[in-house]
Amino acid sequence: MYAEKVAEGKIEACVPHRLSCERHLKDLSRQGKTDFPYVWHPEKSERILNYAEMLTVAEGATPKPVKLHDFQCFDVGVPFGWLNREGKRRIRRKYKSVSRQNGKTFENGITASYLAAFGGYNFGRLFTAATKKRQARIAWEEIQKFIKIDPDLQELFDVKDYKSLIVAKKTNCTIEALSRESGLDDGFRSIFCSVDEIHQHKDNGIYKALYNGQASLDEALISMITTRGKVLNSFCREMDDYCLQILNGTTSAEDFFVDIYTLDKDDDPFDESVWVKSNPHIVTVPAALDQLRRDAQTAKAMGGFELSDYLTKRQNVWCEFSDNQYIQPSYWAQGATNKTLEDMHGRKCYVGLDLSSGGDLTSLAIIFPLDDNKIYVYSHSFIPSKRLEEHVVTDIAPYDIWAASGLLTVTDALGGIKNDYGFIINHLKELKDRYELQFQGIGYDPHNADGFLGELEKIGVPLLSVTQSAKFLNDSTVDFALEVEAGNVLYDAKNELMTWSVVNAKKTRNSFGEIKIDKEINARHKRIDVADAIIDAHLLYRKAGGEGINLETAMQDYLTQMGWI
């Protein structure tokens, strides 16, 4: 099996593609279980692959039959092989990122024509979508070419080029090219959407309009295809980061198929031996490979715009590798456990609070020292009801699901626009009483804390105002990351909100090289509120966590040492 060969290192592949293969193999091993209600049906996968290899490539000097690469069989076939217990397809979203000219649009053309004629749905609508009509027609024209060169397909489809419309005669399904400039908006109910080059999209508007339109359908697929771009503060980058979290196992999205072909962090982009990672098709085509060599030579010699263009378009790398990730997802993933607060009954613990300025998340974190020099981290967050739906859209994050699973409390106080901190006080009191927790102290972000401290003091434990500066937080920020890397930090694997926040956190430095965590520059929707609360709690634990240490005395000494008093 192809996926097994990639996972075993027998086929050269980048880390994200290897993780995609490993994810599929892991799913095969747990299929049909209570917590994974999906079953692999290889015949469903083979059906679309058999269809694909009956097609003809029209472009070029002479027509030739389609012959899929193994990696294409994986990307096209896997989304169709997984079914739920009702016999419906599991995969409703797909994201594929690969260097240009490696067949991603070609693959969506196969998928669209297959679903229109043989998907089992009548009068369905299928779209190829992009920001501009010209781009949207690229995938549409791939389908048109399959039809025009094949007499059998001509019997099945009617092509109306002037309308950018294809009609499947037996099913009455239509395939249409749509763009934002031509009026794409909410209300487009489709069984399949090909969303092309999302690195060109200014926001998630096209994606959300099409995806939301599929909500009432038992089976639907939105397939995003792109080459990475140069704008780090973009919808594409946010989606790409989310998909990497899925592959790393730091968040779960069982309806989402993800595959990314790129260079790994330490790869030399001018070393031809690694190009197969980001150009799995081009390296098999001599003429295309020669052109890639020429582009590499030019980029290396000229640098500047030529280099950034080469890295993004030809090697599928964001304009530069970032070294400011606070905690690597792979390190964080090793702390996932099935432990819950039930296992922390009666323990000493340290609380950290991150208070929002209004309609954003407000989060608390609790650190529990364990008997084996490890720590367990619990978190819970709060969000005003009227902000919930807004943040689902802007943050590309499932706040509604997190609320339903108990990770997030939706508050209706103050008109549902602003958080009522009374919910936090009540939550802490309930946890303290229910689990007989021994709060040793509470560290809080002083921002927006006025009017809140009086109620907080009633809990009856020492309080510390945690100044949110690199000087104040450096030691605890560094230490927590090292503890995570060493495998000493445990958490509930089901707490996806915590994981999302931790993975979003980036390092920022002051002029003395001291660090604290922050959001990525200009990425205000990548929230790190839970991570901030964890650092506040870890500061208390680290400075006053020993047996027999008086927290108030230890904090006084620490603040004096730091020059804050």
Q: What is the pLDDT of residue 449?
A: 67
Residue 542 belongs to a domain with what CATH number? 3.30.420.240
Q: Indicate if the pLDDT at residue 151 is higher than 60.
A: yes
Q: Are residues 169 and 32 in the same domain?
A: yes
Dist. CA 221–CA 115, nearest whole Å: 10
- What is the pLDDT of the chain when averaged over all its residues? 86
Kindly report the CA angle at 545 between 559 and 540, in degrees rounded to 5? 45
> Which residue matches tokens 């609320």?
403
Dist. CA 99–CA 90, nearest whole Å: 27
Dist. CA 525–CA 500, nearest whole Å: 12
Q: Are residues 248 and 116 in the same domain?
A: yes
Q: Is residue 160 situated within a structural domain?
A: yes
Residue 292: band (very low, low, confident or very high) from pLDDT cuts 50, 70, 90: very high
Beta-bridge partner residues of 96? 225, 259
Q: Indicate if the pLDDT at residue 554 is higher than 70.
A: no
Q: Are residues 340 and 254 in the same domain?
A: no
Q: What is the pLDDT of residue 544?
A: 66
Q: Are residues 56 and 152 in the same domain?
A: yes
Q: Is residue 119 situated within a structural domain?
A: yes
Out of 261, 280, 305, pick the residue that ends a domain.
261
Q: Are residues 354 and 241 in the same domain?
A: no
Which two three-digit tokens encode residue 377? Answer: 């981290």
Out of 246, 261, 276, pick the residue that ends a domain.
261
Dist. CA 277–CA 264, nearest whole Å: 8
Q: Indicate if the pLDDT at residue 286 is higher than 60.
A: yes
Backbone φ, ψ for residue 529 (5° rounding): -60, -40
Q: Dump pLDDT digits (tens) for 97-135.
A: 999 999 999 999 999 999 999 999 999 999 998 888 888
Beta-bridge partner residues of 189? none
Q: Is residue 276 situated within a structural domain?
A: no
Q: Dump pLDDT digits (tens) for 293-342.
A: 999 999 888 877 888 889 999 999 987 445 678 888 778 888 999 999 99
Kindly report the CA angle at 456 between 429 and 460, in degrees rounded to 5? 70
Write out the E strands in 239-369. 256-260, 336-337, 348-354, 362-369
Of the listed ranges 173-177, 207-211, 474-478, the least confidently predicted one is 207-211
Q: What is the pLDDT of residue 321?
A: 45
> Which residue matches tokens 């699973």?
405
Q: Are residues 199 and 337 in the same domain?
A: no
Q: Indicate if the pLDDT at residue 553 is higher than 60.
A: no
Dist. CA 257–CA 38, nearest whole Å: 14
Q: How far is CA 54 from CA 44, 111, 121, 466, 534, in A?
A: 16, 13, 21, 65, 56
Q: Are residues 360 and 451 in the same domain?
A: yes
Residue with the larger pLDDT of the pair 553 and 459: 459
DSSP label of 157: E
Beta-bridge partner residues of 421? none
Q: What is the pLDDT of residue 155?
A: 94
Q: Which domain holds residue 201?
A: 2-261
Which two three-digit tokens encode residue 220? Answer: 């639907």
Beta-carbon contacts of residue 6 (< 8 Å; ≥ 6 apart): 13, 17, 18, 21
Of the listed ranges 375-389, 404-418, 505-519, the least confidently predicted one is 404-418
Q: DSSP for 395-415?
A: TT--HHHHHHTTSEEEE-GGG
Q: Is residue 23 situated within a structural domain?
A: yes
Out of 230, 261, 292, pick the residue that ends a domain.
261
Residue 202: band (very low, low, confident or very high) from pLDDT cuts 50, 70, 90: confident
pTM, rounded to two decimals: 0.69
Residue 548: band (very low, low, confident or very high) from pLDDT cuts 50, 70, 90: very low
Name the amino acid, one letter, at 118: F
Q: Dump pLDDT digits (tens) for 406-460.
A: 999 888 766 666 667 777 888 899 999 999 999 999 988 877 666 677 777 878 8
Q: Are residues 343 and 236 in the same domain?
A: no
CB burial of 482-499 (b: ≥16 within 10 Å; e: otherwise) equals: ebbeeebbbbbbebbbbb
**Torsion 14-20-23-28 (CA) sign:** negative
Q: Indicate if the pLDDT at residue 535 is higher than 90.
A: yes
> Which residue matches tokens 């978190």?
379
Q: Dump pLDDT digits (tens) for 187-201.
A: 578 999 999 888 888
- Within its chain, how far is the Cα of 509 from the centroid? 26
Instruction: Give how many domains the chain has, as a whole number.
Output: 2
Q: Is residue 266 situated within a structural domain?
A: no
Q: Are residues 110 and 201 in the same domain?
A: yes
Residue 222 belongs to a domain with what CATH number? 3.40.50.300
Cα-trace Rg, the chain = 26
Helical ranges in 126-284 per DSSP H = 133-148, 151-156, 205-213, 235-248, 275-278
Count the helix, strand and coil residues of the chain and give each as a percent rounded to the nearest 5: 45, 20, 35
Kindly report the CA angle at 212 between 80 and 195, in degrees rounded to 5? 60
Q: Is residue 324 situated within a structural domain?
A: no
373: left (phi over 0), alpha (psi -120 to 50) or beta: left
Q: Is residue 296 situated within a structural domain?
A: no
Q: Are residues 359 and 504 in the same domain?
A: yes
Tell me if 117 sits within 8 A of 171, measured CB to CB. Answer: yes
Helix, coil or strand: residue 278: helix
Q: Are residues 250 and 341 in the same domain?
A: no
Q: Is residue 313 situated within a structural domain?
A: no
Q: Are residues 253 and 355 in the same domain?
A: no
Of 529, 486, 487, which is closest to residue 505 (Cα–Cα)?
529
